[in-house]
Amino acid sequence: MKKIQWGVLGAAIIAVEQMIPAIQESKYGEVRAIASRNLEKAKQVSKKFNIPLFYEGYETLLADPEIDAVYIPLPNHLHVPWAVKALRAGKHILIEKPVALNAEEARILQDEARKHPHLKAMEAFMYKFHPQWNEIKKLIDEGAIGTLKLIQSSFSFFDDHPESIVNSKEYGGGSLMDVGCYPVSVSRYLFGEEPTHVMATMEYHPETQIDLHASGILEFDRGRTLFFSSIQQMEYQEVSIFGTHGKILVDIPFNPPPDQPAQWILETEDHRKIIRSEISNQYTTQADTFSRAILDQAGLPVSLLDAVQNMEIVDAIHKSAQLQKRIKL
């Protein structure tokens, strides 16, 4: 069985701890090469995961004719430049979230991808590939909690290291870009539409000017989302979904452990039920889904348009916080 040959641009933590092992465990792909600006780092990662090739510099990897697809876990400001170069080198691309620094950049990537219709391009929002979300979405669409009216969602962790990428404005850091994009994404997914208005507030670091905390309201035709994100609060994540006749409380919404069933609570006026999904590594499923789309010359479940639309909301949240007013989309 043919397997997609992957190359990885950069030895980021997300690549080393999650995506490289996930691809190596997948059915339809394997990592052929790792590239880093630091040759020794590339060599170390190559040795750890038995990756055949390691390169100094990303251009060398893109020049390898045996590489089919490239995973891009670089800092946010490098996503679009290297994704465009990879497309022009004839590689399929899976780009770590958020796909770009802003919606304008995301549209540049979308326009470039249209010039290469034979190549696959997708944002790596891994949570979308965990079966719990298909099951929860189905429950909502079937009316298990009545009409969806409100989502309460948050994602936070603590990182005050001055050299951390998440604390760099130049690299596209801040809480909204790093983790706040998840509540935005899941809200759009569950409501099945785009917000009509955004109202937000942010607290900025006095020196770096990145947002330490972001919070706000996304207004949809059918309801609303209350959200917050932070990079200076204890590690926590939440999605609580409220309808006219019930609610769903998701235990670990965005990165459930790969060796345990994910679970959530369905509660209505007359009963309360704990539901567990199958054990699943969402990173492996993401890799296999992308690889299969290449092998089968099939469509992807998530388009670049979705990535552009998510960045449009992120931009609107920034704008609302800066202007201190409600923004119409």
pLDDT over 80 (residue 1): no
Tell me, what's the pLDDT at 75?
97
Tell me, what's the pLDDT at 102?
98
Average pLDDT (38-59) is: 97
Ordered structural domains, the chain, with CATH: 4-127+285-301 (3.40.50.720), 128-279+311-328 (3.30.360.10)
Q: 37 with 57: CB under 8 angstroms?
A: yes
Reduce the DSSP state of residue 281 to 3 states and report it.
Answer: coil
Reduce the DSSP state of residue 68 to 3 states and report it.
Answer: coil
Reduce the DSSP state of residue 329 to 3 states and report it.
Answer: coil
Q: What is the pLDDT of residues 205-237, one digit of tens each?
A: 999 999 999 999 999 999 999 999 999 999 999
Q: What is the pLDDT of residues 124-166, one digit of tens each?
A: 999 999 999 999 999 999 999 999 999 999 999 999 999 999 9
- Decide: pTM greater than 0.85: yes
Mean pLDDT of the chain: 97
Q: Which two tokens stand for residue 149?
A: 């009216």
pLDDT over 90 (residue 293): yes
In the chain, the amino acid numbered 245 is H
- Say which residue the tokens 């596209």 belong to: 172
The gap between the terminal CA atoms of the chain, to the nearest Å, is 47
Count Cβ atoms below 10 Å from residue 122 Cβ, excluding itself. 22
Tell me, what's the pLDDT at 252?
97
Q: What is the pLDDT of residues 298-312, one digit of tens each?
A: 999 999 999 999 999
Average pLDDT (282-298) is: 97
Q: What is the pLDDT of residues 57-72, one digit of tens each?
A: 999 999 999 999 999 9
Sign of the dihedral defined by the CA atoms of residues 286, 291, 294, 296, in that order: negative
| Torsion angle in degrees (nearest 10) through CA of 248, 249, 254, 256 | -110
Q: 29 with 23: CB under 8 angstroms?
A: yes
Bridge partners, 226 (sequence order): 152, 217
Radius of gyration of the chain (CA): 20
Average pLDDT (102-130) is: 98
